[in-house]
Amino acid sequence: MALSSKYELISSGNYIGRDTIDRNIRFTQMNRIYSMFPDKTMVCSRFRSAVHGDTHLSFIHVDSDELNAGWHVLVYLSKDTCTDGLAIYNIDPIQTTPYKVYPEEAEPSQVIEYKYNRAVILDYGIPHSPLNHTGFGIDIATSRLMHIVEICDPNTSHYKYRMSCPGACVTTHDHPYAR
């Protein structure tokens, strides 16, 4: 399914590559992960592909100022080995207004290596960054490919923010913000 999906640059956010226009991708195999969050809501589920030459901002960031407001579930789909992964930081921001800013020279406290079919669950409130600043491969089949699921607590302000983002649970290929 990931190889045959249509990809577009949805935003110029902190990520490399392109996301699927269909942002409501569901698999029965993911039910085990969904069951870990019984009182939470899936906001978005999409594939992301990044080929060699795709770049991004890649700064250390959080996706919410609150812990337990939401989680990313990242499933690595590329079978090729690479030097890539997710860097986790145990640091305080150097600026908190209007948003948190973290020192770029910080060393990660943990690195989770990219491994085929590995699922990583990350709280939105934990400082993190992609390990590398570019994708790999020349097409979707050889790219850095992930299934990304966003799960939020519907009782938080962050849920309202995520639901207002362009593409939250959009299931059509006529996404109004696709470029």
The predicted-structure confidence for 98-139, as pLDDT tens digits, reads as follows: 778 888 888 999 999 988 988 999 998 899 988 877 788 899
Domain boundaries, the chain: 43-164
- Report pLDDT for 12: 56
Q: Say if CB 56 and CB 85 are below 8 A apart.
A: no
- Structure confidence at residue 81 as a pLDDT band (50, 70, 90): low
Architecture of domain 43-164: Sandwich (2.60)
Q: Please, what is the average pLDDT of the chain?
A: 80
- Structure confidence at residue 57 as a pLDDT band (50, 70, 90): low
Structure tokens at 168: 């939250």
Mean pLDDT confidence for 52-80: 83
Share of the chain above pLDDT 70, in %: 84
Q: The pTM is what?
A: 0.81
Radius of gyration of the chain (CA): 16
